[in-house]
Structure 1
Amino acid sequence: MTASWKDINKPSSPHTVVTAAQVTNGPVIPPQQRLLTYSPDEWEGFVEEWAYYCLPAKYKHVQRFSGAGDMGIDIAGFADEKRLKGVWDNYQCKHYDHALRPGDVWVEFGKVIWFSYSSEYVAPRHYYFVSPRGAGTSLSRLLANAAKLREELIVNWDKHVKDEITTKQAVPLDAALRAYVDAFDFSIFDAKTALQLVDDHRSTPVHAARFGGGLRTRPASEKPPQELAATESRYVTQLLGAYGEHTGAVVTDPSALSVPKLKDHFRRQREAFYEAESLRVFARDSVPPGTFESLLDDIHGGVIDTHDANHADGYEKVCAVTKAARDMQITANALITCTNPKDRDGICHQLVNEDRLRWTQS
């Protein structure tokens, strides 16, 4: 056989212009693919996040069992106060370098059978296997066929289950236990896919921090109601005082503002405050705790020198400080990709509400 040689052709160019983000971060890896790269410790961290943020809305209590004597329970979601004696679901977390096989989990089926048979707990309403690669083909077929799963568990009991349930004793499939197995509802068993886990996790405030991909679209902010809300009391009082310093007339009610420029300014400041409040809510649901507070600190640090400088009156001070906030270069905070100039004005008023800034001296 004669070898042939040929030149290496130039690879085809990208169909689009390469962006700075692509050069910095490389190709986007879908979250479910990223899960496959996790070490056992990283998987444990992800599962803890998922359980903490995603399960409490479904249950009265969520607890994790660990160590010897866990009776085959990993993460338990309790639907009522009876806990293990009431309605509950079990999430059994596994980490292997392959999709789950029947041989990986025969003993887990056996534990649920044995400990519910022994009245240690009521059999769970649902039992989910949770693993980065999900259930393989063989296990998935058994999970979809309760009768076949029962049959195969019985066949594998002596080899894979009897001596593995507990270190205290062997658990042979005697007549009484066999009758319990025959009556047991095997349809409770199922497996979560990586895509299901990611979809659950997507609604948490830590999703973007863990998987990247940017923040979800920020919804439109509320428009200020006609009546002032209790949360506006402090910054509005300070604003009215600033207007009074500017006009030389005491202003205690927004309806008393007669100067068109100030009336329009007041309207814009309320809109900005509500914009910033909507950002606060968005941050609560979209980024890790402390991210919004860090943005407040950044704004405060950027405007405090302007705030402390001499100004002709309170109104001029408000204008100077909010302009300084809008002009700031903030690049590190995760929220900066979805903020706008109004947010920065509004954050200044939030800082007034927190008594970290003042528009007047009184």
Structure 2
Amino acid sequence: MEKWRKVKLTDIIEFNPKEKILKGAIAKKVAMDKIQPFTRDIDQYELDEFKGGAKFKNGDTLVARITPCLENGKTAKVNFLAKDEVGFGSTEFIIVRAREGISDENFVYYLMCSPQIRKIAIKSMVGSSGRQRVQLDMLKNAVISCPSLTEQKKIGKIFKALDDKIYYNKKINHHLEQIAMLLFDKFFPNVTMGKNTVGEYIIPKRGKGLLSKDAVAGEFPIIAGGLQPAAYHNSANTKAPVITISASGANAGFVNLWTIPVWSSDSSFIDESITNNVYFWYIMLKKRQKEIYDAQTGSAQPHIYPKHITAMLTTELQTKEVEKFNEKIGPLFEDVGNRQKEITKLQMLRDTLLPRLMSSATIISSSSTK
């Protein structure tokens, strides 16, 4: 292996490169809440009028500079723009770009995701509690050991292959779920038009509170108010498959399906202790996601409780028809579950390899620009 040389991050990375979007122009915008923790790809953006914000192009890396977004792993790589197209996003993003002929864009992305760089970025944060931000000069002047461009490309290629596989597995799972929803529309075209209520058929159970700090490290996701697991625990309080419905926060009412047991914390759940037709009810609720969001109560802290789910109107459901549909889509969701397990394994492999392959890129020192 070639000898790695000591460089400042700013020697190999262009921070917040200058790009131009005319004021008032309509462009693709990425809000902070569209970035998923520890996920390379950005799968949601909106067209909006440009009034200001961080600007970026394909190949750039977006790094959250504010707490708790940085600590939560909100770092992503832009790949949804056309050639030479410029997008924009929150001013709370640091835009990171590889220097042409010096660094590789994939290596740069994974470098910014590495524990070594995340540690110094987090350590540099200053400001009032809850609104701390990265000191950009400290990050720019962090000194690391860096491989040659050839070796950077080799390292970047390894991790890109893993994330590509994760991306395609997620895409297939999404398409399979869309197929299930189309089948649902065929079997139950007027499911929202009746005078019956969901509560006549099922009543979700409330989860049992478990703070992340009280979790005992394990394999079972803790499902609270966010879109992603709050942490992992050594036991579960549900059986798979299980539907979870986030109970509070900005994402109160978010419906998700898990093909592994989970610990339902700040959420409600529906598993086989409530119904044998979990897949049917997942599709029913997921198709009505907006309706559930709209039922949120509370201004400062939105909530969705089982009573909001049970109050939803539905048509009179025939048990045999529900069972027939659930049986029909069961193999489809079992396939989704198997693919999700592969995604989890790939993520674990990536996250295990990352600090090892980047281990030579340890921070030697850092200082503020004078």
TM-score range, shorter chain: under 0.3
Q: Which has the higher strand share?
A: 2
Relative to the length of structure 2, the TM-score reads 0.22
Structure with greater helix share of residues:
1
Query: Which one scores higher on RCO, CA 8 angstroms, separation ≥ 6?
Result: 2
TM-score, normalised relative to structure 1: 0.23
- Greater Rg over alpha carbons, structure: 1
